[in-house]
Chains A and B, each alone.
Chain A
Amino acid sequence: MFEFKWSRLLAVAERDLRRFRRNTTLMIPMALMPIIYLVILGKAMGGDLHGLRVALVDEDHGPAAVVVHDRLITLQQSRNLFRVEDEASPSRAVARLRQGDYKAVVIVPEQFSASAARGERARLGVIVDNTDNTSASVIESVLRGAFAPSLPGAAAAGVVLSSGPHIEVQRVDVYGHKEFMQYLVAGVIALALFFVAMLAGGIILVDDRAKGVHEGYFVTPLSSLDMVGGLTLSATTLAMIIGTIVLGSSILIARLPVIGGVKTIALTLLAILLLALGLILFMFTLMARVSNPLTPRALFGILNVLTFFPSGALYPTESYPGWLNAISAAFPMRYAVHSLRNLLLKGVGFQAVLPDFLVMAGFAAVMLVLAATLFKRTL
């Protein structure tokens, strides 16, 4: 028969509240997390882009080309939107765009000034890296505004206008059509690896310690390095399995063509391995001396916000303020997302991802030393 008493309900509530009162440090993440979400997400998503690297190839050298150059420089100086670099040949500029050096290549073709002088429409080619569609769309719309002075709203966009030739901006996607879902694949893989690291490197580690499993290990000849190395190997194996499953599923679901074939897959798996190692060892370092099983669970959300959202997985890193860029640059997630996107959407080679790989490998090496040093071998 159903029986209800307020006193019993309150007793259960009292017990839980007492637990929180005696673990006040665990309440800090709960209060902090929404604030961190507000600050990080607020700045990591939808901020104004700046410092987008744009190459200018002038094949015309006429007066209209000078106007194009001047307007790009004006945009660079007034809004800090672009970092314009001159390139001599279109092929080299596009090759560098494919390597991730530029977000767009603006080509002033031969006869550009002549067409403008005749009062005809002078066509300005804008080749964009459409694997980052947010940046590509912003570049396209700003340039259209800059070279269409009669358009309403151009002045509001901060573009300094002047009368001049009739210029038409023609966008060319260097990688053909890319869906936003395909853009997200790199971030999804990185997120899956974060979950594995949090589970295997954080939660399971602390749970085993709390259950006394490690105490059993400590009375054997196992060293700290044996333990950290063994736990890293097992967690990394799990991460590789999960990473491969997510990669395969993403390729199918997002209909992602694997440009570069086996080489791309091999390099992608290497990127997954390096990110997994870095994240797992980072978790081991953080949890090296933690014995309360609630701690990794309480930190889960904060770590996710700090590492994933500012990684460029959802929105270009070019929109981040300096301090967020510093946080982003400190974690390997950013380099993994960058390299994975370059591999999966552009099919770049080893040279293009080497800098990202080196940073991830360096991060993992530092974390290995820290984890093995901090890992407590005694009670």
Chain B
Amino acid sequence: MSNGVHAPNGNGLPPAIVVEKLTKKFGDFTADDALDFTVLQGEIFGILGPNGAGKSTLIRMLNTLLVPTSGRATVMGHDVARETVAVRHEIGVIPQGNTVDGDLTAWESLDLYGKFYGMGRRQRQQRARELLEAVGLTEWKDKAAGTYSGGMRRRLEIARGLIHRPHVFILDEPTTGLDPQSRRVIWELLERLRGEGDLTILLCTHYMDEADRLCDRLAIVDHGKIVALGTPRELKATVPGKDVLTVRFLKEVDPALLAALKALPEVHEAGIEEPHVARLSLEADVVPMEGVTEASRAHDNRVQNITLLEPTLEDVFIHYTGRGLRDAAAGEYTYAMPAIMR
């Protein structure tokens, strides 16, 4: 796991974002507490955490909407507190809330933002055409955005944020509140962006699947602090208990076969999940394929299929914070939920 402050720079370019001891306080409440991390150019860097963890405050400091209480952050070498205009030229931002102007059409919206960045007419029109095509809104470009679905509005915001070809694209929970299909469309868009050029993406999310699928590296934030930072694989590798193997046999798993599986050196624990399925908790990264096959043959059975379950980011979050992401989002206390349906 990289420590984040001086992360190895894989592409030899200076970092896109450098955050040093960045702190934001609102009165007595510390929303972000001495955050340190570095985002490399061209990577998708995720900020994962529950609601209220300080993610949006961090994003708003980086996009110049909030002034840090202390510490420092730079975007493409520009200080976010002192060189705000330069920072705003470098970034494209998708804020958490809906900021689409419902009175304007998609075309008008993109043209307007192009003007904000001082782009010439021909340049604006060409870029708007490209982006509308990319986000699948060409057909809708002359309709008022107020008539769009939530997913279409988000796609328009993505196009709007990219109108001036920013170097850093900051997205604050871009898929919150969207249906699964719209989420998938947004993900595919971001994956395409990663594949095109050197755009750096800072993605703030509380969806673990989103972070897992999209992020090259991510920081897990809780109570305003970074509790873990690394690639999704690195983070999962830090979770004790390692991987889980489920093995489906042709016949039911008898106690003798189960004992033989449990006796394998790579297996920490073994149990019956279903009559035909054994669940093996592994000690190490090595999957005991041969051992399982031999044990089944020795006990007159055959392996039908094997599934390797890796730890999820939820497991990572539990490991580092002591509670699940949903629990964290629900509040600091737990209580026994009474029956709510009769």
Contacts and interface: CB of A to CB of B under 8 A. Distances in A.
B116 A221 contact: yes
A379 B101 contact: no
A217 B102 CA distance: 14
B180 interface: no
Interface string A211-252: 111011111111100000000000000000000000000000
Nearest to A223: B85
Nearest to B163: A220
Interface in A198-222: 208, 211-213, 215-222
Nearest to A220: B116
A253 B100 CA distance: 43
B78 interface: no
Nearest to B88: A221
B64 A219 contact: yes
Contacts of A212: 95, 97-99
Contacts, number: 49
A7 interface: no
A133 B100 CA distance: 53
A369 to B, nearest CB: 21
A379 B102 CA distance: 21
Contacts of A211: 98-99, 102
Contacts of A216: 95, 99-101, 157, 160
Report which residue of B91, B95, B157 has the largest number of chain A beta carbons within 10 angstroms of its beta carbon. B95
Contact of B95 (A215, A222, A223): A215
B143 interface: no
Given A216-B101, A378-B67, A221 B95 contact: no
Interface string B97-116: 11111100000000001001
A217 B116 contact: yes
Nearest to B60: A379
B113 A219 contact: no
A220 B88 contact: yes
Contacts of B91: 219
Nearest to A214: B99
B117 A218 contact: no
Interface residues of B, number: 24
A208 B89 CA distance: 23
A218 to B, nearest CB: 6
B38 interface: no
Nearest to B157: A216
A219 B95 contact: yes
Interface string B54-88: 00000010011111000000000000000001001
Contacts of A378: 64-67
Interface residues of A, number: 15
Contacts of A217: 116
A117 to B, nearest CB: 80
Given A220-B116, A221-B85, A215 B67 contact: no
**Which of A213, A216, A378 has the most chain B CB atoms inside 10 A of its CB?**
A216
Given A378-B65, A378-B67, A379-B66, A221 B97 contact: no
A219 B117 contact: no
A213 B101 contact: yes
B93 interface: yes
Given A221-B117, A379-B60, A215 B99 contact: yes
B63 to A, nearest CB: 5
Interface in B90-146: 91, 93, 95, 97-102, 113, 116-118
A151 B28 CA distance: 80
Interface in A331-379: 378-379
B65 A218 contact: yes
Contacts of B66: 378-379
B335 to A, nearest CB: 25
Contact of A215 (B65, B89, B160): B65
A378 B91 CA distance: 16
A379 B26 CA distance: 12
Interface in B304-330: none
The interface centre, meaning the residue of A212, A217, A220, A379 with most chain B CB atoms within 10 A of its CB, is: A220
A342 to B, nearest CB: 40
Nearest to A226: B116
A216 B109 CA distance: 11
A379 B99 contact: no
A78 B98 CA distance: 68
Nearest to B104: A213
A233 B78 CA distance: 32
A208 B101 CA distance: 8
B177 to A, nearest CB: 14
A213 B67 CA distance: 20
Contacts of B95: 212, 215-216, 219
A376 B29 CA distance: 22
B271 to A, nearest CB: 51
Nearest to B116: A220
B97 A222 contact: no
A361 to B, nearest CB: 29
A226 B187 CA distance: 35
Interface string B236-252: 00000000000000000
B283 to A, nearest CB: 49
Contacts of A213: 99, 101
Contact of B93 (A208, A219, A223): A219
A148 B37 CA distance: 95
A220 B113 contact: yes
A216 B93 CA distance: 8
Contacts of A219: 63-65, 88, 91, 93, 95
Nearest to B63: A219
A219 B67 CA distance: 13
Given A215-B65, A378-B64, A378-B67, A220 B99 contact: no
8 contacts: A212-B98, A216-B99, A218-B64, A220-B117, A221-B89, A222-B116, A223-B85, A379-B65
- 5 tightest Cβ-Cβ pairs between the two chains A and B: A216-B99, A219-B93, A212-B99, A220-B116, A212-B97
Interface of B: 60, 63-67, 85, 88-89, 91, 93, 95, 97-102, 113, 116-118, 157, 160
Given A211-B98, A221-B116, 5 more contacts: A215-B65, A215-B95, A223-B85, A379-B65, A379-B66
